Structure 1
Amino acid sequence: MGVAYSVGEVDHLYTFFVQWSPDIYTKGSKKQRQPRFLIREKHPNHYLVVEKNKVAEINKLLSHPINPTEKNWEIIRVKDSKRRMSLCSSEDSEAEEPEYQEEGDDDLLVLSKHSQLLDAHDLEQLAAQMPARTRGYPWQLVYSTAIHGSSLKTLYRNMAGLDSPVLLIVRDMHKKVFGAFSTDPFRVSKYCYGTGETFLFSFNPDFQAYRWSGENSYFVSGKLESLQIGGGGDGFALWLDADLYHGASFSCPTFHNAPLSTQEDFIVQDLEVWTVQN
């Protein structure tokens, strides 16, 4: 459980943390880790979430101790605060993620904005498949057909200069949601790129992940006229045209996947691309 403190009391709390565990929080320590709290913004106030069993100790350091039972304070679990951040709009909330994670906290994908295509349960299932190096960091939306229109060129342009993994989510006209995790941002290239951490996934009715089979390295190929993921067989695991309107999905040797969409040829209804901020 956690309790919220106004941001005006953060300086006092930082002093407390340094005195409480100097081996962790002082600059000269070899094991420097962030305190086990989150700072999150909720208009018009700021909140600091800490462990409930530390309330009494922290109150000793504050000039105006708080009563966690008062209506203007909300006691929540740290994990629940991260769930809320993963589903809220950045217009309402911003967060600074800690480098140190509570046990079990890395089973969530924390999104900087609300996703139109994924709910909390979807995020939990995807997080379990992610490489460990991507966990615990916020993800930002870099492309959405709802915001940027339907253009592969715009998608490439929005990702220019990025050097971090990306998450592609597609919803077709039959409401089926599927996509791919790519270790490399999408770009135009003469050759295929990516690593064996790249994988495909689909929902509806059940979540299914398709990992690299090891048969070939046709992970991602970016062309001006199309984006291609997986290959080596009769078709691509996921293919999108230049307008991000027509798509196709076939079984392929790269992932030994089943077709991701209800039909091998599909129409894109919505599309999002997220990238991890590390």
Structure 2
Amino acid sequence: MSFIFRRSQEDTTDSPKEDSAIDDSADVSEVLSPPPRHVEKRSSFLGRLMSGARTPSPSPKSGEIQATSSTNSINSLPPLPPLNLVGYKNSTKHRLLDEELAGNIRNLVPARLQLFDEWTLVYSLEQHGISINTLYRNCDPEYQLQQLKKKRVDKGYGDAIIRNMVVGASGPYNSYETKRPQGYVLIVKDEKNSKFGCYLNENLKIMDHKRYYGNGECFLWKCETYDPQLLSHNSNPNLIDFDSESTPSSPSSRTATRFKAYPYTGINDNIIYSNHNFISVGSSNGQNGLYIDKSLYKGVSCGCETFGNEILNTSDPGARIGRFKIMGLEVWRIGTLE
């Protein structure tokens, strides 16, 4: 390639040697080339996409008009549809998840899961009882699929038979595809009415041997009440902060609630570990970002390198360990089973 480049430079340079090499008998029109014309350089599609309609051309061409229209369509993408929270019973009085909190979490989950406009409650401390084994069972996608098929049988026997006759459906579990995009949101409410939890890319399960699972899509989060007048901006670079509506408590003071999220740092791979005795999310130096014991009543939150988080539950300033009592716990599934 370098040889071809040198030859092209020599061919475009006027020199006496090249003039002497011209044959007098040859046609002049075949030998001499017209002087190079100045060709206006057309901006690339990326450049037009970045500039948009701010720098319109005085005489736009058809291609440029199409690029501008495509830019406007990109900037005017429709918002995500509102979420539909499915699973609460009419008798459930204490509901931990609302549309505002779900919307804040939805903004941080992977894009492929943001498109799902229905979240399903798979476990609730109030609806399903206090049992860590029940929590693991309800979080199992195969068990969820089995329950879904039971509902179909109750809805109509013929409809269930037709669905089971689909090619490849050889049993209640064999038709489940483990590659379905799913995510799980765990919500905890403590005795001080603080809400916090985590997003997990896999369902909680019992690990017979000590082995962490999960990937970098997981994150911790909390809802924090604060006084805007006393707010000092946090210098934590790993913190994602969303302010919510401010609620005046008195003429002289105001309180507000903000949503904080702590994404995966990549320092270690201690993301999720769960067994018969506890559930832990994030771990470093013997401390867990979120720890829940087997009774589903006591928990601990500490800062850990996995997520670079603060203490999730409300605690005294400067505290290194946040202990809490669980008043409510829920697990929600994002994504479909089939």
Q: TM-score, normalised by structure 2?
A: 0.50
**Which residue matches 1:276?**
334
CA-CA distance at 1:152 after TM superposition: 1.0
Residue type of the partner of 2:104?
Q
Point out the structure with the larger helix share.
2
- Alpha-carbon distance between aligned partners in 1 of 2:330 and 2:83, rounded to the nearest angstrom: 15
Letter in 1 for 2:85: L
Q: How large is the RMSD of aligned CA atoms in angstroms? A: 1.6
Provide the rounded CA distance (Å) in 2 between the counterparts of 1:152 and 1:130: 25
Contact (CA 8 Å) 2:183, 2:335: kept in 1 or not? Answer: no
Letter in 2 for 1:168: L
1:167 pairs with one of 185, 193, 197: 185
The TM-score normalised by the length of structure 1 is 0.60
Instruction: Please report how far the alpha carbon of residue 161 of structure 1 lies from its aligned counterpart in structure 2 after TM superposition.
Output: 3.5
| Per-residue deviation, 1:105 | 1.7
Q: Spell out the pairing of 1:124-163 with structure 2 (5 A cutoff).
A: 124-137=103-116, 138-162=118-142
Contact 1:229 1:237 in 2 (8 A): yes
Deviations, residues 43-81 of structure 1 (Å, cap 9, x unaligned): xxxxxxxxxxxxxxxxxxxxxxxxxxxxxxxxxxxxxxx
Could you tell me which of 230, 251, 256 is aligned with 2:303?
251
- Residue 248 (structure 1) shift: 0.5
Which 4+ stretches in 1 moved above 2 angstroms? Answer: 160-164
Aligned residue identity for 2:260: Q
Contact 1:109 1:135 in 2 (8 A): no
Distance 2:313 2:279 in 1: 16
Q: 1:180 aligned to 2:198?
A: yes
CA shift for structure 1 position 169? 0.4
> Where does 1:73-222 land on structure 2 (aligned, <5 Å)?
103-106=78-81, 108-114=82-88, 116-137=95-116, 138-162=118-142, 164-189=182-207, 190=209, 191-205=211-225, 206-222=258-274
Q: Which has the larger radius of gyration?
A: 2
For 1:171 and 1:104, the matched residues in 2 are separated by: 30
- Deviation per CA, 1:86-128: give whole Å up to 9, x if none: xxxxxxxxxxxxxxxx71125x443214581122221221111
Instruction: Work out the CA distance in 2 between the residues paired with 1:150 and 1:260.
Output: 22
| Distance apart, 1:160 and its partner CA | 2.2
Give the gaps of 5 or more residues in structure 2.
1-76, 89-93, 143-177, 226-257, 316-321
Once the two structures are superposed, residues 170-195 of structure 1 have per-residue CA deviations (whole angstroms, 9 ceiling, x without a partner) of: 00000000000000000011211000
Q: Which runs of 5+ in 1 are unaligned?
A: 1-101
- The 3-state SS of whatever aligns with 1:203 is strand
- Per chain length, whose mean CA-contact separation is higher, i.e. which structure has more relative contact order (CA < 8 Å, sep 6+)? 2
